Amino acid sequence: MATTKRRPAPRDPVSAVARARRHFDRFTGDGRVSMSVPEWGDDTGTPLVVYWQPFTLVEMFKAFGDEGGEDPRAFAKIVCRKAEGRDGKKLFSEFEDLDVLVGHADQTVVRRLADAMMRSPSFHEMAAMLEKDAWRLAMHRLADRLGKTIGEIEAMSVADFTETMAFHRIRAKEEKKK
């Protein structure tokens, strides 16, 4: 009686874990998520824009610990740990600012910000956000053309960014004429 060898099923060239990592990497470093907080605006009325990178499961556990969300300070901890300015620097110190966010800040705002931070956008949601934000989309296009990260583009002065964008627009028109 002849035995037949079964061939293993062809393996997907990109594993599920690689796909999960690729999805997360889209938002870290050069693709942070942001939210405008008008209630925390400056004296001119310009809202505070808070940036963050998506949560990992480890970070989520550290924020909520064993209490499973029963810690009344959990949302303020999330804001302290994740909130960054445009430059990537932390906006709040958990040691110095946690009590202020817990007892002397509008809890509706703290909770709304923490909720947004815990809910990372999907690829499609991020694409929709980019399509609505012409400035951010232009930054991505320039980063792509120059082989740079969004962080490097954000570090440019507005004048340098605008001039570089203008240069590439002129260059594209010249190439179309050829």
Show the tokens assigned to 99. 């009590």
Query: In 107-136, which positions are buried (b, 16+ CB within 10 angstroms) versus exposed (e)?
Result: eebbeebbebbbebbeeeebeeeeeeeeeb
The whole-number pLDDT of residue 29 equals 47
∠ CA 94-96-101 to the nearest 5 degrees? 70
Nearest residue to 82 via CA among 121, 125, 42, 114: 114
Return the SS3 of 51. strand
pLDDT at 98 over 90: yes
pLDDT for 21: 65
pLDDT tens-place string over residues 25-84 = 655 544 577 888 989 988 888 889 898 887 777 777 776 665 555 677 888 988 999 999
pLDDT band at 22 (very low <50, low <70, confident <90, very high): low
Q: pLDDT-derived band of residue 93, with 50, 70 and 90 as boundaries?
A: very high
Q: How many CA within 13 A on the CB side of residue 152?
A: 10
The predicted structure's pLDDT at residue 27: 53
Instruction: Select the more confidently predicted residue: 3 or 16.
Output: 16
Report pLDDT for 4. 58
In this predicted model, what pLDDT tens digit does every residue of 110-126 receive, in sequence order? 999 998 888 766 667 77
- Of 132, 138, 166, 169, residue with least CA distance to 154: 138
For the segment 12-21, the average pLDDT, to the nearest whole number, is 67
Q: Which domains does the chain have, with CATH numbers?
A: 29-120 (3.30.2220.20), 122-178 (no CATH)
3-state class of 52 per DSSP? strand
**pLDDT band per the 50, 70, 90 thresholds, residue 103:** very high
- Tokens, residue 176: 């179309």
Q: Mean pLDDT over residues 147-176, rounded?
A: 85
